[in-house]
């Protein structure tokens, strides 16, 4: 077929990585094509009907601050919202929302369709062509060839996808969508190392057959912040979630049928996610636990389907029904969609640069689950960064590489391209060494200017950001000056059974006290009711954790010194005498862009970094002479 089309960029895949990539490139003024196996799978939520969660909430807000779409679409389709870990420190608090997955798909698809410079075509990409080490074109199954300078591969779990339910297997993608069976061969021919990973999903239940009166209702939070600072609406909880538990009978059913479980029969070859195990893995590994939580979450306001969070399985369908009916409140519940495991091809992320570009083909980028990650949010942020770097490359500008001290996105990408992953990678707050600085409440402050600089944050959004910053500054200044009336102070201290000091207090002094939380002050101090909540929260955290934040910022400055010591891509590590052979090999393979990145490579010791640093200093002195 002699059909030729020319674009600046082609995106392969329309999941969460593909959507962000397509929107970013087209917004930055580049003619873009989005190829999708099925238009109905655009921004499809194949697993849980939620966005955000611990550390993931930070990722969504960071995507938004840079000018991405996920946070806006999530805000517009939220049906229940909850701020996680509110009882813990500010560093680990994250927003998680139940969304209407049908509405989310429609919202994102409409956004893509309305975007200038963007074409969307339903087709399977089967081959990537390169010419003299540079991207040249993408060929689709129907024979058409699309010529381009940038390709971003965002195939998710669709490459040679296979679903598994007990003895039953089928070469198909999630929820019955077609798999992409031909592109893997093209990637291998380009020199990419292919791995086989696995993930899974639980049953979807018929909500009309659930006895909700037997379950614990899980209510959402009122007046929680949005993911996006440009969202006007105040979130309202429009759906109910419920909690139930497995029991001895559930565990017996699973243990009696382990021989039919693909996880234990050897039928599943792919490596699964450690932090989201199947229910059968939980029962086996945590045999001392009498029960495990199961959350029942609505998939959409337009369907009766209920998601069975915490009960992912690949057991045969007859056993799945027994497991469901063994749980309290689900004795008569019917399954609408059976649970399954899914195996898929992905690449070794160590073959990528921190820009997410493949080291051996200029202009070829990878983003999302094909890089070995797990989760919508992890995928979306990679799609955004790959697109920004692709656009900057087209414009002849320097790439955007977020440091570990800049954003959770920087932590995620650095982990992928420096340390690699041997299992589906999930973002967690514990992975971020500067998490007190990388909070969800200050993402706009950290990243909006960067989004503006690369051309994704428009003037309207930027003006709103500047207004928000001014508001925060005003609140900050006021809290340092205002001395509280004695009557309000008296009521506040009485509510906590604390002894009131003789002298009046400024609000700043009050916030520094460990026995008072922000909610206590909002309840008893009248001036707090005049402040915008998000601004008040950010200022109160800055005041309460001032000493810790100062110390962390000092650590960040030290960290940046190593990050700013640049290593060239073609640096000859064999010329450095004193480097151990393992370190030499690892450094030559990964090609770190800084001493800081080199220091985080597995197999490179502090002694190796000292040798490398001395060599660089001697080399610099030689050049000066």
Q: Looking at residue 535, which CATH number applies to its domain?
A: 1.10.10.1800
Q: Quick one: 542 and 571 in the same domain?
A: no
Rounded to the nearest angstrom, the gap between the alpha carbon of residue 558 and the centroid of all alpha carbons in its chain is 27
- Say yes or no: 327 and 287 in one domain: yes
- Based on the fold, state whether residues 530 and 578 are members of the same structural domain: no
User: What pLDDT is recorded for position 485?
Assistant: 66
Question: What pLDDT, on a 0 to 100 scale, did the predictor assign at position 513?
Answer: 79
Specify which residues 129 forms β-bridges with. Answer: 137
pLDDT tens digits for 409-419?
999 999 999 99
Count CB-CB contacts under 10 A for residue 86.
14
- Classify residue 397: in a domain, yes or no: no
Q: Which residues contact 26 (CB under 8 A, 6 or more apart)?
A: 32, 115, 116, 117, 118
Over 50: is that where the pLDDT of 1 sits?
A: no
Q: Is the pLDDT of residue 165 over 90?
A: yes
Q: What is the CB neighbour count within 10 angstroms for residue 613?
A: 15
Name 67's Cβ contacts closer than 8 Å, sequence gap at least 6.
24, 27, 451, 454, 456, 457, 458, 461
The mean pLDDT value for 196-216 works out to 97
Identify the CA nearest to 279 among candidates 336, 329, 319. 319
pTM: 0.95
pLDDT confidence bin for 509, thresholds 50/70/90: confident
In a domain, 115, yes or no: no
Coil, helix or strand at residue 51: strand
pLDDT in tens, 59-108: 999 999 999 999 999 999 999 999 999 888 889 999 999 999 999 999 99
Inside any domain, residue 301: yes
Q: Could you tell me which residues are beta bridge partners of residue 134?
A: 131, 362
Counting every residue, how long is the chain? 625
Confidence of residue 465 (pLDDT cuts 50, 70, 90): very high
| 458 backbone dihedrals φ, ψ, rounded to 5° | -80, 175
Beta strands in 348-460 (DSSP E): 364-366
Q: How many CB atoms lie within 10 A of CB 113?
A: 11
Total domain count, the chain:
3
Domain-embedded: residue 596: yes
Domain boundary (291, 315, 343) is at 343
Residue 4 inside a domain? The answer is: no
**Quick check: 5 pLDDT over 60?**
yes
Residues 249 and 338 in one domain: yes
Residues 239 and 318 in one domain: yes
Give residue 163's pLDDT band: very low, low, confident or very high (50, 70, 90): very high
What pLDDT does 7 receive?
Answer: 97
Domain span holding position 593 = 565-624
Give the CATH number for residue 585: 1.10.150.570
Based on the fold, state whether residues 529 and 581 are members of the same structural domain: no
- Same domain as 532, residue 484: yes
Helix 101-114, helix 16-27: angle, nearest 10: 30
Same domain, yes or no: 494 and 543: yes
């Amino acid at each position: 077929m002699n059909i030729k089309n020319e674009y600046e960029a082609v995106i392969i895949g329309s999941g969460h990585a593909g959507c962000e990539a397509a929107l970013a490139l087209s917004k930055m003024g580049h003619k873009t094509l989005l190829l999708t196996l099925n238009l109905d799978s655009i921004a499809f939520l194949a697993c849980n009907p939620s966005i955000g969660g611990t550390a993931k909430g930070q990722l969504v807000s960071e995507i938004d601050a840079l000018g991405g779409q996920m946070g806006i679409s999530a805000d517009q389709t939220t049906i229940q919202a909850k701020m996680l870990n509110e009882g813990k420190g500010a560093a680990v608090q994250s927003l998680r929302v139940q969304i209407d997955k049908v509405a989310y798909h429609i919202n994102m698809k409409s956004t893509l369709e309305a975007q200038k410079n963007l074409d969307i075509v339903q087709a399977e990409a089967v081959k990537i062509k390169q010419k003299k080490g540079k991207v040249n074109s993408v060929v689709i199954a129907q024979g058409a060839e699309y010529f381009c300078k940038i390709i971003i591969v965002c195939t998710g779990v669709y490459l040679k996808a296979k679903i598994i339910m007990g003895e039953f297997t089928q070469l198909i993608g999630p929820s019955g969508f077609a798999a992409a069976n031909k592109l893997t061969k093209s990637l291998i021919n380009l020199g990419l190392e292919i791995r086989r990973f696995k993930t899974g999903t639980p049953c979807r239940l018929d909500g009309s057959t659930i006895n909700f009166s037997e379950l614990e209702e899980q209510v959402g939070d009122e007046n929680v912040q949005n993911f996006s600072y440009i969202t006007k609406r105040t979130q309202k909880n429009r759906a109910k979630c419920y909690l139930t538990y497995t029991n001895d009978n559930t565990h017996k059913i699973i243990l009696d049928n382990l021989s039919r479980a693909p996880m234990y029969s050897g039928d599943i070859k792919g490596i699964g996610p450690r932090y989201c195990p199947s229910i059968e893995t939980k029962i086996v590994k945590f045999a001392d636990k009498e029960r495990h939580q199961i959350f029942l979450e609505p998939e959409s306001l337009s369907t009766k389907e209920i998601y069975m969070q915490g009960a992912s399985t690949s057991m045969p369908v007859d056993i799945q029904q027994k497991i469901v009916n063994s749980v309290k409140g689900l004795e008569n519940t019917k399954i609408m969609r059976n649970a399954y495991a899914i195996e898929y091809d992905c690449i070794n992320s160590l073959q990528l640069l921190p820009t997410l570009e493949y080291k051996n083909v200029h202009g070829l980028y990878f983003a999302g689950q094909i890089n070995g990650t797990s989760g919508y949010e992890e995928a979306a942020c990679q799609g955004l960064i790959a697109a920004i770097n692709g656009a900057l490359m087209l414009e002849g500008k320097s790439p955007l590489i977020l440091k570990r001290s800049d954003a959770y996105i920087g932590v995620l990408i650095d982990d992928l391209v420096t340390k690699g992953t041997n299992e589906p990678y999930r973002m967690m707050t514990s992975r971020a060494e500067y998490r007190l600085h990388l909070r969800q409440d200050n993402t706009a402050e950290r990243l909006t200017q960067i989004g503006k600089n690369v051309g994704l944050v428009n003037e309207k959004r930027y003006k709103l950001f500047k207004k928000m910053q001014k508001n925060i500054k005003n609140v900050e200044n006021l809290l340092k000056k205002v001395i509280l009336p004695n009557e309000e102070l008296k009521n506040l201290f009485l509510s906590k059974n604390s002894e009131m000091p003789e002298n009046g207090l400024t609000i700043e002094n009050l916030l520094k006290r460990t026995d008072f939380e922000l909610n206590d002050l909002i309840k008893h101090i009248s001036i707090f009711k005049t402040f915008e909540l998000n601004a008040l929260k950010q200022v109160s955290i800055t005041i309460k954790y001032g000493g810790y934040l100062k110390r962390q910022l000092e650590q960040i400055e030290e960290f940046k010194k190593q990050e700013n010591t640049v290593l060239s891509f073609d640096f000859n590590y064999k010329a450095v005498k004193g480097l151990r052979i393992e370190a030499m090999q690892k450094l030559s393979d990964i090609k770190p862009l800084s001493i800081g990145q080199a220091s985080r490579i597995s197999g490179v010791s502090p002694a190796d970094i000292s040798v490398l640093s001395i060599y660089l200093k001697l080399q610099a002195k030689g050049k000066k002479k």
